[in-house]
Structure formats: structure tokens, C-alpha cells
């Protein structure tokens, strides 16, 4: 396959990205998505699905569930959104990304139908809708047993909400996309809980605020879906966290897993893992094969790119995490402080325009001796990156008392670190998954979900 064919296919899909500031399609988008899928013979109904919504932890949860089910011998499709380094990350089957050839064929097969539906609605099929339709078609064609599907934005009107899912999972709910989902936790939680369906054998939720829990519980009761909420119906306790990983005990009414090892860093990943275990137990309760040894094996070997990722490169230690809202940043900074209390830390930060950047910056000012303000090139290209000078201005106003720099891109920022800081420095890159993806490219870290597994 010539590279140009793949690049042209990617360019076509990216041409469907809505202009900055264009209105979220809401119910119109879901109607359009249903028509698009109907014309593709509803591929989303060809496999059992596990549907995940929430503000924080969706990606890690989706990855862990998919990996555990895969290791039980099933064929598993995984949809992640957004991607870090390549659009192919949205199309994963048994830990392997779609090939460039397969992607080109998918685009070729669906492009005429996408155009037809856009004309029918006199409103273009969006980037996310088009990709998602291709994901479902790819999973159907490759005959997956399960699709583990992460929402893109919200829940009720998210393009993924065409699924008649087997299990829904609600991860931690906090403030993000408030211009679309609402300005209160209740409003946001109502949108997230919209993925709960009467088809569900269960809804698994992390521990939530009272407001969020009420919205989830009301939805589950209305649809008569069994609901399991962390720290109410299942528990994670006896938690210890180090820079090499964590241990915890999982317990519910019928099961107890002592001394579970988790390789993903950060205490918040223990909460994610608790929901993952309860989900897999739920599958076992309706007849799917499950094995505690496999669950433990996956959790102890998991490595998920861009989520508190700790790597050594160019003789430096790097922490990469796409924390981009107040709750994610708070959890990230707390874990960073707990795991590396004595390390001198510097940071490279960059954010998307629609984020509550000031709340994030307030959390980072006490952690770093130097902060380099930059911008993800992918966001800059579509006018959605916050100007680094604005980041510097806000940090000065907080105030930040360390050294502040503006460097226009991640390549130059990493080069600056390598030439100006001692090797003992802990180098943190955060604020946007787009920035983390570009950093991984620059650090020559290929996206893979196979690391750590034999």
C-alpha cells in the first residue's frame, strides 16, 4: 500500500472536522448517526458491547476491560477517543491497530454513504460520526465477540449511544465540556447516565458525588437495570501506591481478591481497576468464562500510553499524562506529589481552548521549578490551541514563582530540556492528550498495547 493512499484517506476524514466553535449536533447528530448505520446494515448490532462514559478514567477502563476479555480467549474490538498518535488507535482488535490498507478500504467503502447521508440531512456527517461508523463496520467485518466502546463527549447525544450495550460503565464524573453538557454536576451526570439502556445486565459506576449518583441511580431504576456503585456495592481498600505500581484488595458481596497488583500508576487507577473487576465479574455471572488469575495477570502487566506513563528516554525520566480538566489534573498532581516527593520537577504544558485552564494551572503552580508553555501542533492547525503567552500570563498572575518559558512546540521544548537540565530532573508533560501524543512521537515511543505481556 502506497503511503499516499493512506494519507489521502486520513485527510478525507479530517476534512469532516467541524470548524472551531460550531454547535454540537446533539439530537440531530444521533438521528444522523442512526441513518448512517442503517445504510451500513447496522454493524453495531453484530457484537456484544460494553459502553463507557464519564469525565475521567474512560480510556484506562476501556483498555483494561478489553485486555482482560482478550486474554480470556475472546476477539475484542476496542474504540478509544481521542487518539494519541495515529487515527488507527480508534480501530483496535486484540491489541493490534488496524492496518493502513484496511483503513483505506474502510474509507473507500463508507465514503459514498457518508456523502449520501450528509446530503439527506443537509448537514454534514461529522468526523466523529464517520470514524465511529467505520469502527463498527470494521468490528463487524472482523467478527469480534465484544466491542469495548468509549464515548466521545457526554452520553445521551454521543454518537456511540446507538449501542444496545450489554454493560454500561460510568467512570468518575466531574466538570468538563460545560458549554455543552451543563454547568452543574447533576446536568453533566444526566448526560453521562444517558448511555444506560434497558438492554444492560448491569451498570457499573465508580464512587460519585451525591448529585451524580442520584442521576445515575434514577436512570438505572427507571430502566430496571441493576446498579453497582463503588464504595457502596463493591469496594477497593488496603491501597498502597509506589512509583512501581499499586496494590489493593477488591471486595463485593460474593468475591474478594486480596493483594491485587496494578502496574498503572496513580491511586485513581485503583478506582478504575475496581470498576473493571466488577465488570468482568458481571460477565462471569451471565455465563462468559472468567478467571481470576487472568484478571490479576492483566492488571499487573498493563501499560497504557499517555496515562501517568513513566518512561526513561535520553537518560531522563519522563511522566506523560493527558490531564486536561480540574478533576484529572487534581488526581494527577496528587499522585505525582505522593510518588515522587523529593524529585525536582519541571513541566511542559499545553491546553485546548475549550478547557478550564485556570483551574488546572492553580493545581500545578506549587509542583514545578520550571514550566515551559507550549501548544500542540494538531490543535494549533485547527485554531483550538491556547496561545502559550496566555498560559504564561495566567501563571504569572497566580502567581508562579519559578522559571517560566515559552517554547513554540514540543520538539523544541524537549530539545531545550535535554540541553539545560540535569539528568536527575523529572520531566512532566501534561495538559492535553494531543500534546502527549506529539511528545510520544518526539520521544520515539510507538503506540502499542502489547508492552508488558508475554
Cell 491501597: give the residue: 239
pLDDT in the model for residue 183: 79
Query: 142 and 49, same structural domain?
Result: yes
Residue 452 inside a domain? The answer is no
Cell numbers given for 116: 449520501
One pLDDT digit (tens) per residue for the chain, 454 residues: 457 999 999 999 999 988 765 667 878 889 999 999 999 999 999 999 999 999 889 999 999 999 999 999 999 999 999 899 999 999 999 999 999 999 999 999 999 999 999 999 999 999 999 999 999 999 999 999 999 999 998 899 999 999 999 999 999 998 777 677 787 999 999 999 999 999 999 999 999 999 999 999 999 999 999 999 999 999 999 999 999 999 999 999 999 999 999 999 999 999 999 999 999 999 999 999 899 999 999 999 999 999 999 999 999 999 999 998 888 999 999 999 999 998 999 999 999 988 889 999 999 998 999 999 999 998 888 888 999 999 999 999 999 999 999 999 999 999 999 999 999 999 999 999 999 999 999 999 999 998 888 6
Check residue 21 and report its DSSP letter: T
Query: 328 and 286, same structural domain?
Result: no
CATH number of the domain where residue 404 is located: 3.90.190.20
**Distance (Å, whole) CA 93 – CA 293:** 22
Query: 327 and 232, same structural domain?
Result: no
Provide the domain count of the chain.
2
Any alpha helices (H) in 122-241, and if so which ranges? 127-141, 178-181, 185-192, 210-223
The contacts of residue 239 (CB under 8 Å, 6+ apart) are: 246, 247, 248, 267, 270
Handedness of CA 333, 334, 340, 344 (dihedral sign): positive
Query: 406 and 332, same structural domain?
Result: yes
Helix (H, G, I), strand (E, B) or coil at 227: strand
Helix (H, G, I), strand (E, B) or coil at 197: coil
Query: 349 and 275, same structural domain?
Result: no
Cell numbers given for 371: 514550566
pLDDT in the model for residue 248: 98
Handedness of CA 306, 25, 187, 207 (dihedral sign): negative
Strands 92-93 and 96-97: antiparallel
Residue 449 inside a domain? The answer is no
Q: Containing domain of residue 381, as a range?
A: 309-442
**Distance (Å, whole) CA 253 – CA 233:** 7
Q: φ and ψ at 346, to 5 degrees?
A: -120, 160
Extract the runs of DSSP E, i.e. beta strands, from 206-342. 227-229, 234-242, 245-252, 256-262, 309-313, 316-321
Residue 448 inside a domain? The answer is no
CATH number of the domain where residue 9 is located: 3.40.1190.10
Query: 130 and 274, same structural domain?
Result: yes
Amino acid at each position: 500500500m502506497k503511503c499516499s493512499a493512506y494519507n489521502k484517506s486520513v485527510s478525507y476524514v479530517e476534512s469532516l472536522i467541524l470548524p472551531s466553535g460550531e454547535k454540537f449536533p446533539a439530537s440531530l447528530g444521533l438521528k444522523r448517526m442512526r441513518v448512517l448505520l442503517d445504510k451500513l446494515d447496522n454493524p453495531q448490532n453484530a457484537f456484544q458491547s460494553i459502553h463507557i462514559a464519564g469525565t475521567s478514567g474512560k480510556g484506562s477502563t476501556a483498555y483494561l476491560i478489553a485486555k482482560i476479555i482478550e486474554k480470556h480467549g475472546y476477539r475484542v474490538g476496542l474504540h478509544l477517543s481521542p487518539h494519541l498518535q495515529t487515527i488507527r488507535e480508534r480501530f483496535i482488535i486484540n491489541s493490534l491497530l488496524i492496518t493502513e490498507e484496511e483503513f483505506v478500504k474502510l474509507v473507500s467503502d463508507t465514503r459514498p454513504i457518508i456523502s449520501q447521508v450528509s446530503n439527506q440531512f443537509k448537514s454534514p456527517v461529522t468526523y466523529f460520526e464517520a470514524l465511529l461508523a467505520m469502527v463498527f463496520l470494521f468490528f463487524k467485518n472482523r467478527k469480534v465477540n465484544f466491542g469495548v466502546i468509549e464515548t466521545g463527549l457526554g452520553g445521551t447525544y454521543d454518537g456511540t449511544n446507538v449501542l444496545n450495550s450489554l454493560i454500561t460503565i460510568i467512570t468518575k464524573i466531574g466538570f468538563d465540556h460545560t458549554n455543552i453538557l451543563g454547568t452543574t454536576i447533576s446536568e453533566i451526570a444526566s448526560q453521562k447516565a444517558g448511555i444506560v439502556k434497558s438492554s444492560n445486565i448491569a451498570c457499573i459506576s465508580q464512587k460519585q458525588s451525591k448529585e451524580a449518583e442520584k442521576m445515575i441511580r434514577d436512570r438505572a431504576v427507571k430502566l430496571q437495570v441493576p446498579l453497582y456503585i463503588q464504595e457502596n456495592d463493591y469496594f477497593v481498600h488496603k491501597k498502597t501506591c509506589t512509583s512501581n505500581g499499586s496494590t489493593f484488595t477488591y471486595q463485593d458481596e460474593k468475591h474478594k481478591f486480596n493483594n491485587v497488583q496494578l502496574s498503572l500508576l496513580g491511586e485513581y487507577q485503583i478506582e478504575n481497576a475496581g470498576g473493571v473487576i466488577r465488570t468482568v465479574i458481571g460477565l462471569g455471572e451471565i455465563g462468559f468464562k472468567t478467571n481470576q488469575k487472568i484478571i490479576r495477570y492483566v492488571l499487573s502487566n498493563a501499560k497504557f500510553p499517555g496515562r501517568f506513563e513513566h518512561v526513561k528516554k535520553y537518560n531522563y525520566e519522563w511522566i506523560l499524562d493527558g490531564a486536561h480538566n480540574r478533576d484529572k489534573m487534581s488526581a494527577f498532581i496528587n499522585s505525582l506529589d505522593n510518588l515522587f516527593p523529593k524529585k525536582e520537577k519541571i513541566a511542559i504544558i499545553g491546553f485546548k481552548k475549550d478547557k478550564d485552564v485556570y483551574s488546572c494551572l492553580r493545581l500545578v503552580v506549587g509542583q514545578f521549578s520550571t514550566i515551559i508553555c507550549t501548544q500542540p501542533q494538531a490543535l494549533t492547525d485547527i485554531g483550538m490551541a491556547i496561545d502559550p503567552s496566555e498560559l504564561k500570563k495566567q501563571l504569572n498572575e497566580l502567581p508562579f514563582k519559578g522559571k517560566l518559558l515559552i517554547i513554540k512546540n514540543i520538539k523544541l521544548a524537549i530539545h531545550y530540556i535535554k540541553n539545560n537540565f540535569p539528568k536527575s530532573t523529572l520531566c512532566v508533560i501534561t495538559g492535553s492528550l494531543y500534546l502527549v501524543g506529539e511528545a510520544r512521537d518526539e520521544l520515539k515511543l510507538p503506540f502499542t498495547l502489547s508492552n508488558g505481556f508475554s
